Amino acid sequence: FGDRRELILHYFLCDDTIEIKELLPHNSGRDAIKMFLRRSKLPKNCPPRVYQPGQITDRAVLNLYGDFIKNQADGFLMDRYKLGEVDQEFYKDSDLSLGVTINVWGRKVLLYDCDEFTKSYYKSKYGIENFTSVSCKPPSPPPKIERKFPPYN
């Protein structure tokens, strides 16, 4: 959380998923793993806890039925009432625009520029004309302090 990182966000229109890759500078001392976030739906707010298996699905498996004496399951029942469903809002293409800060699992990511396809897509779908990139220059390094040697050395 201490230093800025340059990331590339890929948004997939077909299923509203997001993948984020990191641009690592040469000889940066970091591991050469460029994947910051694997392709998945990105929730707008971080969940307060870890969800149980099957909680974030369209339909949950309720029970298995079959011959349990032979340890064989013939089928399963689906939860058609969606009793354990978690109401969660995910990022969509309408939420992403230049200058917006999004929440990526507790980290703030500023969207400051986009490619030509994204500009043409937003122009045709939403009528957005202004694609001025946001300046996000790294902070200037502190001034160098000139060292003075003592006169006795």
Encode the chain (153 residues) as per-residue pLDDT tens digits: 567 888 999 999 999 999 999 998 888 888 888 899 999 999 998 766 666 666 666 666 666 666 666 666 667 777 777 666 667 899 999 999 999 999 998 889 999 999 999 999 999 999 998 888 888 877 777 888 898 888 875
- Distance between CA atoms of residues 89 and 96, nearest Å: 14
- Distance between CA atoms of residues 35 and 142, nearest Å: 31
CB under 8 Å, gap of 24 or more: what pairs does 81-90 form? 84/54, 84/55, 84/60, 85/55, 85/60, 86/51, 86/55, 86/56, 88/43, 88/47, 88/56, 89/43, 89/44, 89/45, 90/16, 90/41, 90/42, 90/43, 90/44
Structure tokens at 37: 């976030």
Amino acid 67: pLDDT:
65
Amino acid 100: pLDDT:
93
Task: Summarize the chain as % helix, strand, coil (round to 5).
Answer: 10, 30, 60
